[in-house]
Amino acid sequence: MKKNFFVLFLILLLLFTAACGNKQPAPGGGEENPQEEEAIVISGSQLGEHKITVAELKEFTPVEKNVVSVNSAGNENEYSVKGALFADVLAELGLQQKELNALRFVAGDGYMMEVPKEVVAARDIILAYEIDGEPLQEKTKPVRAIVPEERSMYWVRNLVRIEILDAAEVKPLSKLMFLETVAAGMEQQDYTYYESTDRAVLCSELPLPEDGETVYLKARDGLDKNEKAEVFLQEGYIKVTGEAAPLYLSPNLPKGMHVKEMLWLAKAEVGLLSVEQGLQYFTVTEKAGEEGILLTDILAEVKMVESEQYLLTAADGYEVEINKADLAQGLVYVRDGGEVAVKFDGLPKNTSVKGLLAIEAK
């Protein structure tokens, strides 16, 4: 019996050290900093860099609130939080929260989350320095952002920096590529995720354009987010097989930044769509003797630019042009063996494309 306990203890110890092994040191809220030194930086193109200490935050009229957080698994957690309203801090800097564009919360542990303009406009943001009547835990210091009524992915612990982002220019896509075809033509490597070893491609090797400071990612469950392009390209992988694929992840990023069951992503005017996820997201229809997704549904989802003609290309270099009026006849489907293809009902056979790689506006 005693021996069993000892073995259990050893296993727990191993698990614990393994779990701590991936953690990076927290540059912002290190233990060596005395309490009054703890600070966050608010930055923006107009504002420059503005440091505010936790002691200064405590001088604002405190708000105390009972809040419920909901994580990606749908689990609810109730807290009572105390902190300063971000809107009050902004007011002192001559800014109004409702007038802002998106924010980016940056944590000391590598976690980073962009908060979209609509959320910034609609919600209170509490910079909490006390949770459940207690000072913050070490991993949560110096403050935790609390955005009541919103998913806990925005509730950034160990918050060290708030970036006020300039309005991003949103352009419709001019080219959409199909992830399964793209990935099949790329170098793939083994990626071990939990117990399973799957295949992954490097984000930096995806055929994406240079321009664009963020990468937009949307998952099958509707979750969408902007990721800093630098982070996406430097550290990211797309796991293309196994559980939750396509899965955007990185061994260097906290798990909360991973995007499971990715439907599509875009950088500047180029998008990448997973047909595998699309088959579960869009209404599956029968057309031209196949079951699949209406091409027009896909183009509407990714907001493809309107054009008189579209060029379809295949992995083997085959090309065909389709008129705007004929798009509605197109069906994207997966052939036996997993290859992505498109067929047009009522059009000549040479408009069918196997190994569909991309569609672009001419």
Ligand X SMILES: Nc1nc2c(c(=O)[nH]1)N[C@H]1C(S)=C(S)[C@@H](COP(=O)(O)O)O[C@H]1N2
Shortest distance in whole angstroms from residue 26 CB to ligand X = 9
Burial of 62 (0-12, 13-18, 19+ CB in 10 A): middle
Q: Are 313 and 304 in contact (CB under 8 A)?
A: no
Give whichever of 134 and 316 is closer to ligand X, judged by the CB atom.
Answer: 134
3-state secondary structure of 314: strand
Using CB under 6 A as the binding rule, the residues of this chain from 148 to 187 that contact ligand X are 152-153, 155-158
What does DSSP say about strands 159-164 and 196-202: parallel, antiparallel, or unpaired? unpaired
Query: Residue 305 CB: number of other CB atoms within 10 A?
Result: 14
Beta bridge partners of 313: 319, 358
Binding mask 60-79 for ligand X (x = CB under 6 A): -----------xx----x--
* Two tokens, residue 5: 């306990």
Q: Which residue is nearest to ligand X (CB)?
A: 256
Give whichever of 153 and 353 is closer to Mo ion, judged by the CB atom.
Answer: 153
Shortest distance in whole angstroms from residue 253 CB to Mo ion = 12
Using CB under 6 A as the binding rule, the residues of this chain from 90 to 149 that contact ligand X are 107, 109, 111
Shortest distance in whole angstroms from residue 76 CB to ligand X = 10
Shortest distance in whole angstroms from residue 223 CB to ligand X = 11
260 forms part of the interface with ligand X (CB under 6 A): no
* Two tokens, residue 333: 């489907």
Shortest distance in whole angstroms from residue 342 CB to ligand X = 36
Q: From CA 335, how far away is CA 180, in angstroms rounded?
A: 12
Give whichever of 150 and 339 is closer to Mo ion, judged by the CB atom.
Answer: 150
**In terms of Cα–Cα distance, which of 187, 257, 189 is closest to 217?**
257
Q: What are phi and psi of 128, to 5 degrees?
A: -85, 130
Give whichever of 217 and 294 is closer to Mo ion, judged by the CB atom.
Answer: 217
Shortest distance in whole angstroms from residue 43 CB to ligand X = 18
Q: From CA 295, how far away is CA 68, in angstroms rounded?
A: 40
* Number of chain positions touching ligand X (CB under 6 A): 14
Binding positions for ligand X, rule: CB under 6 A:
71-72, 77, 107, 109, 111, 152-153, 155-158, 254, 256
